[in-house]
Amino acid sequence: DAGVIQSPRHEVTEMGQEVTLRCKPISGHNSLFWYRQTMMRGLELLIYFNNNVPIDDSGMPEDRFSAKMPNASFSTLKIQPSEPRDSAVYFCASSFGSSGQPQHFGDGTRLSIL
Amino acid sequence: DAKTTQPPSMDCAEGRAANLPCNHSTISGNEYVYWYRQIHSQGPQYIIHGLKNNETNEMASLIITEDRKSSTLILPHATLRDTAVYYCSNRGSGAGSYQLTFGKGTKLSVIP
């Protein structure tokens, strides 16, 4: 069975550029999560969608970050303009429902902003 | 802040059982215990979760103490591919209880 698919796996870009990360959740899952992982801060939830609707975006660092989920099988996380402190591994996860169900993660996008 | 504590590292001989402990003394009544692992350069992989009763699946067994203040993940026959960082996490089952948080985890090294 296909798991959560993220692209690209690696992204290196210069400060100020726009970055778009993509995620395809597991088919049939109706909850989608974007996380960021760094050595210093560990795993942080950025935003949570349920049935394609953003429910909680309190973890989005600032206005430079935006996320969309136009349909049940696709989501994007955009950073514009990017800054070096945005360098991290970004994970997308999905689950069937949000409460009590395990979240399944993609392999992440390793983002480096120079 | 993570609500769980785990030993930073453990070694296990290949083929032997790996027993990974987790302390979650502040767990509340509706919170599940989740276990994930993360192999370098990959996303966290779900292993198992439970509320009160012990659980078993094709990957592992989960033993939760009666007072629910601690749990143990058991990998019955560890292989080299089980070398990873293992995280336990508490998460509720009610509405709004969706955020997964990890502590520092236990780095398990399976030794040939």
Per-run averaged pLDDT (10 residues), chain A, 114 residues: 92 97 96 94 92 93 94 97 97 86 94 97
Q: What pLDDT is stored for residue B31 in this prediction? A: 86
* Residue in B with minimal Cα distance to A31: B98
Question: Is pLDDT above 90 for B98?
Answer: no
Q: Which residues of A touch B45 (CB under 8 A)?
A: 105
Q: What pLDDT is stored for residue A78 in this prediction? A: 98
Q: Which of A99, A104, A109, A111 to mutate to test the interface with B (most CBs of B within 10 A)?
A: A99
* Contact assignment for B43 to A33 by CB distance below 8 Å: no
Q: How far apart are CA A109 and CA B4, in angstroms?
A: 27
Q: Which of A111, A104, A110 is CA-nearest to residue A4?
A: A104
Q: pLDDT tens for residues B45-90? A: 999 999 998 999 999 999 999 999 999 999 999 999 999 999 999 8
**Cis bond leading into A8, ω under 30°?**
yes
A40 SS3 class: coil
Q: What pLDDT is stored for residue B40 in this prediction? A: 86
Of the candidates B2, B34, B95, which has its C-beta nearest A99's C-beta? Answer: B95
**Residue B34 in tokens:** 């989740």
Pick the more confident residue, A73 or B92.
A73
**Residue A81 in tokens:** 């303009």
User: Å from A23 to nearest chain B CA?
Assistant: 13
Residues of chain A whose C-beta is under 8 A from some C-beta in B?
A: 4, 31, 33, 35, 42-43, 45, 48, 56, 91, 93, 98-100, 102-108, 110
**Phi, psi values for residue A85, rounded to 5°:** -70, -5
Q: B3 touching A, CB under 8 A?
A: no
Task: Write the DSSP assignment of B49-86 as a string of letters.
Answer: EESSS-EE-SS-EEEE-TTSSEEEEEESS--GGG-EEE
Q: B86 touching A, CB under 8 A?
A: no
Question: Is pLDDT above 90 for B94?
Answer: no
**Alpha-carbon distances, residue B28 vs A105, B36, B46, B67, B109 (angstroms):** 25, 20, 21, 11, 31
* Residue in B with minimal Cα distance to A47: B99
- Note the residue count of chain B: 112
Q: Which residues of A touch B42 (CB under 8 A)?
A: 107-108
A35 alpha-carbon distance from chain centroid: 5
- Note the residue count of chain A: 114
**Phi, psi values for residue A86, rounded to 5°:** -80, -5
Question: Is pLDDT above 60 for B1?
Answer: no
DSSP designation for A52: T
